Amino acid sequence: MKRYLLEIKTNKNIGDERWLRHLLTEWCEELDEALRPERFGLGEPVRRRFADQGVELAVRLSVDSGISLMLARVSKPKFLVDIDWRRDKGLDPRIFPWSCTVWLHFSAGDERALKLLRFLIRHFEPVFGFVSTEEDHRDKHFIVFDDIGGTAEMYVGQDVEETLPGVYWVTFFGPWAVEEIGKKRFAELKAEKLESIDGGYLVQAYESGSEAGSPLAKQAETRIINQLGKEHFFDKASVDIEALKTSPEEEVLVEEKIRESKAKKREAK
């Protein structure tokens, strides 16, 4: 099943009750009918129905629990939404710790995917966002390597830290990101489309999301990265795999925990 992947990064307080009520009301009642969520919950499976229980219950469920919502649409085009937020930001050192990720069935089409991204930008006021495909995102950020006990798998370079995650079919650079890169570079940028939106820029690298991951699409993304300055972007090729592996000290701790676990199981028999 081919799906678009939409994601935004923000430091906005998305646990605020009034903000959440406004977001869900517009999403469920005013956005394109084919992009409206039908279900909500605090995790999978997402079973509660907006038609039966309403926006207000969804708001109360999230606010009272301090846990962010997941949303889903089960009618075509299907999608799943994960709003990542925690009440206590102090537990997270990242400057832009929160996100909203949407897995949208490819039958929705490019126009609806972009419409949904614009909706998320307007409400979440992100520093960064993008639309691509799951396959392209995996190619850019997923790594596999040998580690203690076997093969390790990990997604890397997805956060806004020293660098931005990358350039995709459509990439949104919020005001903070624009300042970091420099407004002049955006003024001179050559891309398929460039749109000023909410104090930032929406950059389309090539015509259609269906091209994501192709050689020509990668060339177009690389040209944009070079124009904006490749020092501002994550590059999977530069990942230090050795630094990700379990250190000898950690290996000792892991082995000790395994021995303790086995000993407890023997005692319990």
Least confident of 4-8, 83-87, 115-119, 214-218: 83-87
Nearest-Å Rg of the Cα atoms of the chain is: 21
Predicted pLDDT of residue 115: 98
Least confident of 11-15, 44-48, 129-133, 262-266: 262-266
SS3 call for 176: helix
Confidence of residue 254 (pLDDT cuts 50, 70, 90): very low
Is there a contact between 158 and 166 (Cβ–Cβ < 8 Å)? no
Note the pTM of the prediction, 2 decimals. Answer: 0.90
Rounded distance, CA 221 to CA 213, Å?
Answer: 10
Task: Please check the confidence at residue 15 and state whether its pLDDT lies above 90.
Answer: no
pLDDT, tens digit, for every residue of 122-167?
Answer: 999 999 999 999 999 999 999 998 887 789 899 999 999 989 999 9
